Structure formats: structure tokens, C-alpha cells
Amino acid sequence: MIVNLPDTNAAEIQQGIAQARHNLGGTSGLVFTLVVVADLAGFDRALEACLEAGREHPSRILLLVNGRARADRLDAQVQAGEGTPGEIVTCKFHGALQQHRESVVLPLLLPDLPVIVWWPGRSPQAPGVDPIGRLATRRITDAMGDPNPLAALEVRARNYCPGDTDLTWTRLTRWRGLLAAALDAYPMEVSGVTVSAAPENAAGTLLAAWLSDRLDVPVVVDRGRPGVGITGVVLSSADDEIRVMRTDGNLAAFSAPGLPQRLVALPRRDLNTLLAEELRRLEDDPIYAETMAALVRRLDRAVAHGRGRAG
């Protein structure tokens, strides 16, 4: 069912939600409110990711987008049932109302359930003190959705507060699992690490910070290898090395001491999968917090040595 609400307000949107629930015989089983702050260019992609994630996590999804009309006006649409997971409320803000979106969002949050805010593209410098971000228990950003991913990741690290996370970190789940498993299976005293990544790939920078923090060894980021995303990691010791090299964004060549090279699946994951994974965690991630702190230390050391950003 779709309820269109042109030139509306929060009270009328609540009535639209109640109408949709009544016509569907009630809506239950919603687990949280997901607030998505998107721009017009990224709206369709964000909506697709929300629909996919909603099949695993039925929720009330509030899609916030700024319109182009000059008049101060709020247009909304409520969608429920007919294959829609949970409830989707699209709010398009025009004019001065774009500066007061939190006053519309607050009455629409599901009571006594977690609130998650996701910025698919540009995000505020400090999500934890943003008017929308303050409503949330978890805040998801995506440095790779910013025109300058490396600068965006640095801003996220310097403004981190509990409850923050970034899909750049989620992109590293399989890399971190593979590298941790490799060191468990083939223990060695790592003396240095090289992370290879495409130019402007923020995930490579964050992976380097994680490895530096976990292993307490020098980590170098190489931006010169061909390929997309993260293209390789080499863990070196005095006598041996563990190598994971990926050039096609799908399969990686893995080698370890005493073993012949073999191929392992290490595909790049789409936005839908990343968001669904992140929505499974509703509590703080202490390892992410420690990694962001490690990234700030690397950045500060790089500046002190006159090298600019650390990878």
C-alpha cells in the first residue's frame, strides 16, 4: 500500500502510517528505525539497499532527501505491504525545512527500539553531534561514498565517538578474517607489512591502520599496483612471508610459508550486502574504535614527518 502526502507534516505522516497499518491488519515484528540521509543522486541506490536489508531486518525506514522547490514544504510517501519489508517513509524537504529535519524525524521513530542513521554519500563532519545523528544509537557513514574518500575517512577518524561506524570497515571483514586465520595457521614473527591499494581507496588505509595496531609493526601503503580496491597484503618476517594478492577484485592468490600458491575467493561486496552486515551489529565495535585511534596516530606521525596523509 502507498499513501502519498504532499505538503504535509509529521502528524499527518503518523496518520498515514496508521492508515497503512490498519489496511494491512497491523504491522509487527519491526526491530529498529533506520534513518537514511541521502541526496537526490544517490536516492535510488540507497532505497535499493534499504529494501534488500529490510528483508533480513524488518524495520521502519525513514528516507530523508532534500528537494529543489523554493517553498518551505514537506512531501512524504508511506509504503507498506505488497512485498515491502517493514515500513518505508520517504520525506522530501524543501526550502528552510531542510535545516529542521530532526523535528519531523523525532515523532516518527519507533518507541523503545534502536535508531540507526545511515549517510550513503556525504556525511556531517561529526555525526555524533549532528541533529539527526544525536537521535541514533548507531551511526553509519561511508567514506567511499564521498568524492574524496581518503579525506572523508580522516575526518571520520578525528571525529569518532561511540556508536559511529563506516562501511569502509565493513568492506574489510573478509580481509581481516583471512589475514587473522593465516597468522593463526602459519605463526611467524611479523616484522613489516605492505598493503597495496588503488589510489583514493580508503579501505586500504584503514586496513593498514588495523594491521599496525594489531601487530605493532611498520605498515606501508603502496598505491602503485594495478587493480581495484585493495590489491594485496604482504606480511613479512626475517625468513618468510604471507602474501595475499588480488588483481581482479574477485579471486586472490594466497601463499604462506611451506605452501604452494593457491586461489581463494575474496570478492568485493556490493552496498546491499555491506549494509545488511552492519545492521546485524547494534552495539559499539571496540576494534573499530581502536583502529580509528590508530589511524589518527598514523596520520599525525605522517604529518610530523612531512609526508601528508598516511596512505
Residue 239 has what DSSP assignment?
S
191: Cα separation from own chain's centroid: 31
Which of 192, 122, 163, 170 lies closest to 273, judged by CA?
Answer: 170
Instruction: Find the length of the chain.
Output: 311
Please return the burial class of 9, using the count of CB atoms within 10 Å of its CB with bins 0-12, 13-18 and 19+.
middle
Q: Cα(299)–Cα(167) distance, rounded to whole angstroms? A: 20
| Coil/strand/helix, residue 255 | strand
Query: Hey, what's the cell of 206?
Result: 584503514
Average pLDDT, the chain: 92
Q: What is the dihedral of CA 49, 50, 51, 54, to 10 degrees?
A: 120
**Phi, psi for residue 217 in degrees, rounded to 5:** -135, 165
Rounded to an integer, the average pLDDT of 10-36 is 84
Which grid cell sits at 4?
502519498
Distances in whole angstroms, Cα of residue 267 to Cα of each of 194, 223, 230, 248:
20, 20, 11, 9
* pTM, 2 dp: 0.92
Q: Which grid cell is 136?
A: 541514533
Hey, what's the cell of 102?
A: 530532526
Tens digit of each residue's pLDDT (9 = 90 or more) over 153-212:
999 999 999 999 999 999 999 999 999 999 999 989 999 999 999 999 999 999 999 999
Q: What angle do CA 65, 67, 71 make, to 5 degrees?
A: 135
Which pLDDT belongs to residue 110?
A: 93
Asked if residue 311 has pLDDT above 70, the reply is: no
DSSP-based three-state secondary structure for 53: helix
pLDDT of residue 310 exceeding 70, the answer is no
Note the pLDDT of residue 25.
64
CB 186 within 8 A of CB 256: yes
Number of Cβ within 10 Å of residue 250's Cβ equals 12
Query: pLDDT per residue over 33-83, tens digit each?
Result: 999 999 988 899 999 998 888 888 889 999 999 988 888 999 999 988 777
